[in-house]
Structure 1
Amino acid sequence: MTDDLTIRAAVARRALAQALTDAGDLTDLQWRRAFEEVPRHVFVPYFYAPSGDRISGDDQWFTAVYEDRSLVTHRTDGAATSSSSQPSLMATMLEALAVQDGMSVLEIGAGTGYNAALLAHRLGDDHVTTVDIAEDITGPARDRLATAGYHPTVITGDGSLGAPDRAPYDRIIVTCGLSSVPPALLQQLTDDGFLLAPLGNALARIHPTGPGAATGRFLPHGAFFMPLRHTSTDGVPTRRPPLPTVPGRPSTLTAEAIADNDFRFLVGIAVPGLTWQYDLGENGEITGARVWHPDGSIAQLHPGTTVTETGFRPLWTALEDVHRTHLMADCPGPDRYGITIRPGEQCVWLDSPDGPTRILTM
């Protein structure tokens, strides 16, 4: 590392921390110090542009690393499978953990190692464990952590199983998308601990209430993450099926509606596992879209309000049903929802456990 890069990075870290503070994403002084002192560029020596080009070592790379943006850092068979999360979302999640000195934290989704470094800076190496599915992710993460001066425990394994040998944990933070909460993680919490995880594109803070049981509420923040991988070869985004060639029909779900994060939260709960592509207008607004599911179903919203769909099930029809539910409930945000977990069942409810409920696919 050259002296020039050292100086530039120190300035960039302070600027990033200030920007996060000004935006209200970073309010805790100790977490601010972590963002000011942990060098993100060490953990993101390169990233992949949307075109697939690998960017590293130049001004474009350095500027992007210290901007508030997520960066794709790992690809499998040409598809993005790991990333460095947006710093503002990282700050929101870290502050939502409400950690205190001496607490132990398990992170599911080591990724680049940057978030583990922030945790280790705040709590100390011995109090942080991080897990990811493949050695080609955990190996570089471990090396980068050491380069930056941090040595938390880095484990290669299925994140849904946690790290029972080092349990119990006061906090578990999941930095990959879930369709339901892995029961093994709840078993590794202390009695007064909690798990923070993204479900349906929002964060849920979940407290154990007994053997195999837990309850929690969703936070208002959006949280878009790549899905949890259970093996080194799964989790690769499904390739887009052939576009529908059937006749179109009018759609009750508009391009403007699918851009609404509150609606998309409910979609993520009701129809998990979707992949989206968008057509954008001159001002960046969504004008059309394609959405598909691993079961082979695909729908295309054409400019205007015409939709075509084909495959295993009428996917767009399912989304229209979800949108009607959303409208009938007065378009609630994620923070009006909660989750109840019992052995063999997980359900998300609106306003109270007695309110409208959707069962999660486990």
Structure 2
Amino acid sequence: MALVARSALADRLAAEGVLDAGWRGAFGAVARHLFLPAVYWEFVDGAAVRRDRDADPQEWLAGAYRDTAAVTQWDDGNEAGGHQDFTSSLSMPTMVARMLGDLAVEDGHRVREVGTGPGFNAALLAHRLGADRVVSVEIDEAVARAARGNLAAAGLGGVEVVVGDGADAAIGADGRVDRLIATCSSLLTDVPVAWLGQTLPGGVIVAPVATLFGGGAIARLRVAGDGRAASGRFTGAADFMRMRQQRYQAPPVDAYLPGEWPGDAEASVTGLDPEDIGGSWLAQFAVGAALPDVYYRRAPYEEMVTWWFFDTAVTSWATVDSVPGGGEFDVRQSGPRRLWEEIHAAWNAWDKAGRPGYEQFGLTVTTTGARTVWLDDPDHPWNPTTH
């Protein structure tokens, strides 16, 4: 059944146009179920559904070959954590195929992967290029150990799995690679500069990035000939776990608003429903790229939803009350910045530009630490708001 299932998965991905012909053999040969533990959680319609090999082996195996993500670790392995956050997984096969296509590998290339996870992605790379051409970096020792076992079970134990921080420049001490792929997301403002030094001039970096505001995407960057910058467009939407050292711990609301709401906030109204932003992954990305230090919390209350907006400097906040069917919405803003006005301006700029998609946006990262999002052309930075 497993052989038929993985062949059928490869056929589906190819029929959907997401599987590059060069990857068809790898997807048909590498058994995805070998990279799953006895118990995992399959994401189905936004919910994590437990799959237990002993309790229901047929469904456990079937889930391994559906186009769904599979959670293999919660709460950094803290079994007493109560499954608050998933911290290691097998990505959706569609996403894996698209990112490998973006990587554009060629025979003889050396590839470094950041974020081994269970090892499936590294296995596909190894099948295509050879195990000796792939090095994978994993920050969690237990996850790395399991990945080595999975790779060995798949007959690809020659892949080197290194325990370490993939954003650390020292990781590249074994030499620059032709391609670098990350399977964990970094913030737009913190895409690791070390990756430029780890990748050969002319090489390609494929990595998911995100904003604090939401709306992650896959960046495909090519390293310049002098190695001082990498630039390229986004290729589509993505939602990956954040690199562990970049997880943002938001301050409590009381840090912004000591005392009762609305405090000293100024009142106004707006014609833009924040639900229109929150309901669009692309809109969140456009706003978040313009305002990388702003994040939100959504608080439903009966028929109303209050949107809270905060800056990371803990100086300013805003709320907007979204009421279904409303034409105007109550706004409160406090602090030196008028956060809702900035958000509204970013939305307006995106809307007036024709609501450009991910592929019209791009990113440039330099060795000096600059990370610049641009629209249509690297000479047109995406900065529709200033503060």
Name the TM-score class by shorter chain.
Answer: 0.7 to 0.9
Which residues of structure 1 form unaligned runs of 5+?
A: 1-7, 280-286
Corresponding residue of 1:34: 26
The one-letter code of the counterpart of 2:94 is S
Corresponding residue of 2:213: none
Tell me the TM-score normalized by structure 1. 0.80
8 Å Cα contact 1:199/1:268 also seen in 2: no
The one-letter code of the counterpart of 2:87 is T
The one-letter code of the counterpart of 2:228 is A
* 1:258-337 pair list within 5 angstroms: 258-272=278-292, 295=312, 302=322, 304=324, 306=329, 318-337=342-361
Q: Does 1:357 find its partner at 2:382?
A: yes
- Residue among 342, 345, 360 paired with 2:370: 345
Change (3 A) 1:219 1:357: closer
Change (3 A) 1:14 1:127: same
8 Å Cα contact 1:205/1:219 also seen in 2: yes
8 Å Cα contact 2:270/2:330 also seen in 1: yes
Displacement, 1:208?
Answer: 2.1
For 2:105 and 2:365, locate their aligned partners in 1 and report how far apart those are by CA, in whole Å: 24
CA RMSD of aligned residues (A): 3.4
Displacement, 1:215?
Answer: 3.6
For 1:51 and 1:270, locate their aligned partners in 2 and report how far apart those are by CA, in whole Å: 31
Change (3 A) 1:185 1:253: same
* 1:147-162 pair list within 5 angstroms: 147-151=153-157, 152-161=159-168
For 1:260 and 1:314, locate their aligned partners in 2 and report how far apart those are by CA, in whole Å: 22
For 2:24 and 2:117, locate their aligned partners in 1 and report how far apart those are by CA, in whole Å: 21
For 1:259 and 1:94, locate their aligned partners in 2 and report how far apart those are by CA, in whole Å: 29
For 1:198 and 1:160, locate their aligned partners in 2 and report how far apart those are by CA, in whole Å: 14
Moved more, 51-60 or 245-254: 245-254
8 Å Cα contact 2:103/2:206 also seen in 1: yes
For 1:9 and 1:213, locate their aligned partners in 2 and report how far apart those are by CA, in whole Å: 46
8 Å Cα contact 1:131/1:157 also seen in 2: yes
For 1:298 and 1:132, locate their aligned partners in 2 and report how far apart those are by CA, in whole Å: 39
Corresponding residue of 2:182: 174
Larger radius of gyration: 2
For 1:205 and 1:294, locate their aligned partners in 2 and report how far apart those are by CA, in whole Å: 28
Residues 240-276 of structure 1: CA distance to partner in whole angstroms, max 9, x if unpaired? 969x975996561353443334323323423458587
The one-letter code of the counterpart of 1:158 is D
For 2:129 and 2:299, locate their aligned partners in 1 and report how far apart those are by CA, in whole Å: 41
Q: Give 3-state SS (helix, strand or coil) of 2:66's partner.
A: coil
Moved more, 147-156 or 216-225: 216-225
8 Å Cα contact 2:196/2:223 also seen in 1: yes
Corresponding residue of 1:191: 201
Displacement, 1:26?
Answer: 0.8
For 2:160 and 2:50, locate their aligned partners in 1 and report how far apart those are by CA, in whole Å: 29
- Residue among 19, 24, 27 paired with 2:12: 19
Q: Does 1:55 find its partner at 2:61?
A: no
The one-letter code of the counterpart of 1:75 is W
The one-letter code of the counterpart of 1:321 is A
For 1:217 and 1:321, locate their aligned partners in 2 and report how far apart those are by CA, in whole Å: 26
8 Å Cα contact 1:158/1:229 also seen in 2: no
Residues 28-54 of structure 1: CA distance to partner in whole angstroms, max 9, x if unpaired? 1x3111111111111122323666664
Q: How many residues align?
A: 341
Change (3 A) 1:356 1:168: closer
8 Å Cα contact 2:71/2:88 also seen in 1: yes
Q: Does 1:224 find its partner at 2:249?
A: no
Q: Give 3-state SS (helix, strand or coil) of 2:186's partner.
A: coil
Change (3 A) 1:294 1:354: closer
For 1:309 and 1:66, locate their aligned partners in 2 and report how far apart those are by CA, in whole Å: 49
Q: Give 3-state SS (helix, strand or coil) of 1:159's partner.
A: coil
For 1:341 and 1:324, locate their aligned partners in 2 and report how far apart those are by CA, in whole Å: 26
For 1:31 and 1:42, locate their aligned partners in 2 and report how far apart those are by CA, in whole Å: 19
- Residue among 23, 36, 43 paired with 2:35: 43
Displacement, 1:237?
Answer: 7.5
For 2:319 and 2:32, locate their aligned partners in 1 and report how far apart those are by CA, in whole Å: 39
For 1:154 and 1:144, locate their aligned partners in 2 and report how far apart those are by CA, in whole Å: 11
For 1:56 and 1:311, locate their aligned partners in 2 and report how far apart those are by CA, in whole Å: 50
Corresponding residue of 1:120: 126
